[in-house]
Structure 1
Amino acid sequence: MSEEKFDAIIVGGGVAGSTAAYVLAKEGLNVLIIERGNYSGSKNVTGGRLYTHSLEKIIPGFAEEAPVERKVAKERISMMTNDSAMTVEYASSCLGKQGHDSYVVLRGKFDRWLFGKAEEAGAMAASGIRVDELIVKDGRISGIRCGDDEMEADVVILADGVNSLLAENTGLKKRIIPSQVSIGVKETYALSSQVIEERFGLTGNEGLSWLFAGAPTDGIAGGGFLYTNMDSISIGIVVGLGHIGENNKTVTEMINAFESHPLVAPLIRDGKLVEYSGHVVPEAGLSMIPQLSGNGYLICGDAAGLCINVGYMVRGMDLAITSGALAAKTVIDAKNTGDYSETKLKYYDQLLADSYVMKDLKTYKGIPDFMENPRIFNDYPKMITDIMGEMFVVDGNPSKPMHKIVKNNLKSVGFMNLIKDALKGAVSL
């Protein structure tokens, strides 16, 4: 057992863990943060999108020094069949306003920077080390064990990702089941800044977020995504783990078909593949969140299941950063009072409940169940693209009135199905 006892040991050097370490170190606490990868971000493959409101409160003006890519100025959503697509775009100056803005980031770069900020603030940081188990004494988590080394702490913060084996093996959370997570597969294609700006109608550091539904996952729950970096494009798919095999396609076959689609192929044309990676993503929302605090421990970020996917927007990093900051605030409060009891650490749950994190998760608690509806990924993309086809294709035959075009295509889904799905979707949102 190490003779040194830490105020807090943080397991996981992603944005949640690094934020917690930064806040604690800035307050002068004795903090150790441990990352299993060779460097923070080495295992992370998010698309990815960072809403700045979360980190701006902790490091004002962080984007001026952080390795962010492009500021999102355009949002696109496409409903796709195998040979057609209907796309809507939203572009507005309000997307770039302070507190409303978001950046595309490459997690390999960004996580490493934030981990370094925690170290600069005074946290003891270690990479390339695996934590084998949590130490339990007298019914409380009292430290960690790495091989033959043991380290003690008043509080252990688990920020080690969605598949937190430490929490599972110690009985702090239940084992994840396939229906609660998705598999995200991302590829990064290098393209010049000039090509990206011309191809997507961007200027300067403007960026684009683009989500796709339907054909990317061949009709099963999930979707595609594309983000513009400064000199590359991140593109990939997210597929519900519990649905893999339902369409007789492997994940590799799905992403290859997605990238070959007539809408998508020109977007990555002449790009050089520089990265291919996969990651497990929490998808079940409020229903998969474990007990977040207890005797000697707190859980934050993906390890706590803090992720929101409402179809037109995917959020995880802002929730992770805020949860890390609130975990740190809880430890600081416990340190000031000298009380590390389970009752005292329950303050973390209250802080989360009072924040947008839990409020947003509660608002969208019905979305995971709504997304299980196969019509969203099969019938509706086809219905929408068929309507568009009849509107815009001119072949010399008499044109149909718009109301007939819409009515005939609505029949393909069924009016009762439309009513039920509309009502359920409205309640979920």
Structure 2
Amino acid sequence: MDEEKFDVIVVGGGLAGSTAAYILAQQGLEVLLIERGNYAGSKNMTGGRLYAHSLEKIIPNFAEEAPVERKVVNERISMMTEKDAVTMSYHSPRLAETGSDSYVVLRGKFDRWLFDKAEEAGAMVTAGIKVDQLMVEDNRVTGVICGGEEMKADVVILADGVNSLLAEKAGLRKRVQPSHVAVGAKETYELPAKVIEDRFSLTGDEGTAWLFAGSPSSGQVGGGFLYTNKESISIGLVLGLEHITESGKTLEEMMVGFTNHPEIAPLIKDGKLLERSGHVVPEAGLSMVSTLYGDGFLICGDAAGFCLNIGYMVRGMDLAITSGELAAKAVLKAKEKGDFSSSSLQSYKEMLDNSFIMNDLSVYKNFPAFMDNPRIFNQYPSMLSGIMADMFIIDGKPALPLRKKAMKHLKAVGLLNLAKDALNGVKSV
């Protein structure tokens, strides 16, 4: 290698960037991996769930050495009002079978582990360094500038998070719109492993993933999440940025209301607050994906908009890892040809189109628009709570047929609204 030039510079030490650097270094390329935080994962906030299939293909049996927390065997979804919760639960060992398994992770630990794996593979890594801008010569990305120092490379992989300001500043991608992202807030509470297992009916390394809609986001587009770690619980909210001022409450006030909810408070009782963090996350699915490659550069992970939220499931980590893998493979193909132009790096987009990433984003492309419906987060939780209350509360009053009780709550939402939302919901999935 030319002493002043790398084969590849990867900006961002998250899952996408570290995966790309790991694969490229394994293949003998001279790779520089730059992370802005003091360590990989230091500035990341996450719901905490990794679907294993993507990383398993790259590092077989990775969970045997990686700092994973618990394997998810219990899925729960709740619709909540200020005092009530209607919950659906699915508990099955099938969720833990190899190939369909998923793990709760703490990104501060997990990202650092994968970052270190890239270094072990031979990548030159550095943390606590901010990339100020991209070097662009004759409309081609040729490197990066950090603190006035120029570092050149044949290709730059941008994996610098949802606000990829480097790409935006260089005119390589459009500005991220408020409707495309959400603001997340997370708290982590320390509790003994035995307490967590008792409260969530778990054994050994089993874990629970739980999503909430309704009152956690004050009836606005968004929701809550809860994940069980080995000796702590991660809990938080995600709220669409464009709706953040509509409820009249701050995000902090919403978090207080959520953690004090009768469904939640007993689960974190006596827990010690370990961490409180915030982050912006991609939320718009396929409509957020813009520029992915060009002369001398590739974009992957959150920076590319690869995230999937379909209400009952939120995915981002597996998409980030596989996009990092495919970016690395595109660079390897370009290296063989000695051509890092846009036409050569187009293989990245071709591989994405043939992967689960673009397939899944395409399948659910209409879901973000369907979810931008206040009835889902306001009227429907109240409707379900009212129906369940009429089913189970016995107060000595003369009984009415259940259909009549239910119809009262259905009419409150509007039968036409119910039919319209049901049809749109079916179309979106």
TM interval, shorter chain, is over 0.9
1:4, CA displacement in angstroms? Answer: 2.4
Aligned to 1:239, what secondary structure does the other structure show?
A: strand
Map of 1:314 onto structure 2: 314
1:337, CA displacement in angstroms? Answer: 1.4
Aligned residue identity for 1:297: F
Structure 1: stretches of 5+ with no match in the other structure: none
1:12, CA displacement in angstroms? Answer: 0.1
Aligned residue identity for 2:265: A
Map of 2:26 onto structure 1: 26
Aligned residue identity for 1:29: L
Distance in structure 1 (CA, Å) of the matches to 2:338 and 2:173: 27
Aligned to 1:201, what secondary structure does the other structure show?
A: coil
Aligned residue identity for 2:236: G
How many residues in Structure 1 have an aligned counterpart in Structure 2?
A: 428
Map of 2:331 onto structure 1: 331
Map of 1:109 onto structure 2: 109
Distance in structure 2 (CA, Å) of the matches to 1:388 and 1:101: 33
Map 1:64-213; keep pairs closer than 5 Å: 64-213=64-213
Distance in structure 1 (CA, Å) of the matches to 2:250 and 2:399: 41
Q: Are 1:172 and 1:290, in contact at CA under 8 Å, matched by a contact in 2? A: no
Aligned residue identity for 1:320: A
TM-score, structure 2 as length reference: 0.99
Map of 1:47 onto structure 2: 47
Distance in structure 2 (CA, Å) of the matches to 1:70 and 1:137: 48
Map of 2:255 onto structure 1: 255
Aligned to 1:182, what secondary structure does the other structure show?
A: strand
Map 1:338-417; keep pairs closer than 5 Å: 338-417=338-417
1:402, CA displacement in angstroms? Answer: 1.8
Aligned residue identity for 1:190: E
Distance in structure 1 (CA, Å) of the matches to 2:145 and 2:380: 51
Aligned residue identity for 1:177: Q
Distance in structure 2 (CA, Å) of the matches to 1:73 and 1:47: 16
1:277, CA displacement in angstroms? Answer: 0.4
Identity of aligned residues (%): 65
Aligned residue identity for 1:72: V
Aligned to 2:6, what secondary structure does the other structure show?
A: strand
Distance in structure 1 (CA, Å) of the matches to 2:108 and 2:73: 23
Aligned residue identity for 2:109: K
1:138, CA displacement in angstroms? Answer: 1.4
Aligned residue identity for 2:126: A
Aligned to 1:28, what secondary structure does the other structure show?
A: coil
Aligned residue identity for 2:152: E
Aligned residue identity for 1:198: D
What is the root-mean-square deviation of aligned Cα atoms in Å? 0.8
Distance in structure 2 (CA, Å) of the matches to 1:148 and 1:374: 48
Aligned to 1:246, what secondary structure does the other structure show?
A: coil
Aligned residue identity for 2:384: I
Note the alpha carbon deviations across 1:3-45, whole angstroms, 9 max, x for none: 4211110000000000000010111111110000010000001
Map of 2:223 onto structure 1: 223
1:148, CA displacement in angstroms? Answer: 2.1
Aligned to 1:197, what secondary structure does the other structure show?
A: helix
Structure 2: stretches of 5+ with no match in the other structure: none
Q: Are 1:226 and 1:233, in contact at CA under 8 Å, matched by a contact in 2? A: yes
Map of 2:295 onto structure 1: 295
1:403, CA displacement in angstroms? Answer: 1.5
Distance in structure 2 (CA, Å) of the matches to 1:157 and 1:262: 46
Aligned to 1:329, what secondary structure does the other structure show?
A: helix
Distance in structure 2 (CA, Å) of the matches to 1:152 and 1:400: 76
Note the alpha carbon deviations across 1:80-127, whole angstroms, 9 max, x for none: 000111001001111000010000000000000000000000000011
Distance in structure 2 (CA, Å) of the matches to 1:61 and 1:53: 10
Aligned to 1:311, what secondary structure does the other structure show?
A: coil
**In the alignment, structure 1 residue 271 sits paired with structure 2 residue 256:** no
Aligned to 1:179, what secondary structure does the other structure show?
A: helix
Q: Which moved more, 1:403-412 or 1:374-383?
A: 403-412
**In the alignment, structure 1 residue 240 sits paired with structure 2 residue 267:** no
Aligned to 2:162, what secondary structure does the other structure show?
A: coil
Aligned to 2:256, what secondary structure does the other structure show?
A: helix
Aligned residue identity for 1:202: L
1:328, CA displacement in angstroms? Answer: 0.1
Distance in structure 2 (CA, Å) of the matches to 1:401 and 1:200: 35
Distance in structure 1 (CA, Å) of the matches to 2:243 and 2:271: 31
Aligned to 1:275, what secondary structure does the other structure show?
A: strand
Note the alpha carbon deviations across 1:362-417, whole angstroms, 9 max, x for none: 01111111111100000100000100000000000122212212222111111110
Distance in structure 2 (CA, Å) of the matches to 1:399 and 1:93: 41
